[in-house]
Amino acid sequence: MVKEHRMELFACRASKDFASKVIDSLNYLHRDEPKHHLGLSEVTSFSDGEFQPAYTESVRGATVFILQSTFPPAENIMELLLMIDAAKRASADKVIAVIPYFGWARQDRKDRPRVSIGAKLVANLLRAAGVDRVMTCDLHAAQIQGFFDIPVDHVYASKVFLPYIQSLGLENLSIAAPDMGGAKRANAYAKALACPVVICHKSREKANVVASITAIGEVTDRDVVIIDDMIDTAGTLCKAAEVLMEKGARSVRACATHGILSGKALERINASPISEVIITDTIPLRVDESVDTGKITVVSMAEVFASIIDKVYNYEPISTEFLF
């Protein structure tokens, strides 16, 4: 008897909307074939806050893709781990974690004594739960891939950001890195767009608090686009935008893959000289009717992830999916 080869896609609660868009993109890729559906699952909650996910359809022998971004609260990573464990115990053939935003990635080293390396711990937890492969997008530090002893598909948001930047038609474009850590990413964008690169150097007083920023590069009368992997409190971004405008920039925009936008981030962006912030849908945009989101543009990574998922499932090469 030939073993059935089938794909099953499930989503944890925090990424249901993104997973639905991935399903739509998969169905468009194979519009002449039977349609994919989002797998059925449920979560039982207990009075003390504990919860238990369960699959309500068979996953025996299937290649199971579980979609979940692991932004706070910590229940999101815990739910993903429980879903992975449940799939392995239900005799899934392979379990692949699709993590558009890999939380805890900023804890990738010991930057002071007596702290954990959270990114490595999360990698260990995923492996212990039984995951066979991980897909993620724009890790805070690319070397986090080395924390895993299993395949990691590291997707880049440049697939959607580059076309969007080109569509703006900016004649005097400069690409900026908000800090030295983002210089390599900014340089790759600048090379692809054939424009100058600007490097911002920042010093911090403490976590999430920027003391000062200086900008190095061609800024005067330029339309500057800041490239980063995430926006959290937006403190660095807004201060960098102010410095760039003081140095004579004509306009400042920002592209950041993961729009965490915690605390007063949206208020800071609205009060800043930034004309537009482009983020992806790896994290759902925080909607607050009291705060204007008019400066925020969301572009979707669903088609990119759908293509990667399709090719991995069918054992096809995925190198063409990566720009840099």
Q: Worst-scoring range by mean pLDDT, 104-108, 113-117, 181-185, 269-273?
A: 181-185
Residue burial 135-171, b: 16+ Cβ < 10 Å; e: rest: bbbbbbbeebeebbeeebbebbbbbbbbeebeeeebe
In angstroms, the CA 132 to CA 281 distance is 25
Of residues 291 and 38, more confidently modeled:
38
Average pLDDT value over all residues in the chain: 93
- Residue 178 pLDDT greater than 70, yes or no: yes
Catalytic residue among 202, 239, 264, 295: 202
Average pLDDT over residues 166-185: 92
pLDDT value of residue 71: 96
Average pLDDT over residues 278-295: 88
In the annotation, is 202 catalytic?
yes
pLDDT value of residue 255: 98
Average pLDDT over residues 189-218: 80
pLDDT value of residue 181: 83
Q: How confident is the model at residue 218 (pLDDT cuts 50, 70, 90)?
A: confident
Average pLDDT over residues 119-144: 97
3-state SS, one letter per residue, for 95-153: EEEEECCCCCCCCCCCCCCCCCCHHHHHHHHHHHHCCCEEEEECCCCHHHHHHCCCCEE
In angstroms, the CA 198 to CA 240 distance is 11
- Residue 321 pLDDT greater than 60, yes or no: yes
In angstroms, the CA 90 to CA 61 distance is 9
pLDDT value of residue 291: 81
pLDDT in tens, 2-41: 556 799 999 999 999 999 999 999 999 988 888 899 999 9
Structure tokens at 82: 């429980």
Q: What is the pTM of this model?
A: 0.93
Looking at this protein, which amino acid is placed at residue 281? Answer: D
Q: Worst-scoring range by mean pLDDT, 142-151, 183-192, 197-206, 281-290?
A: 197-206
pLDDT in tens, 197-207: 999 886 655 66
Taking phi first (over 0 means left), then psi (-120 to 50 degrees means alpha), and beta for anything else, what does residue 138 get?
left
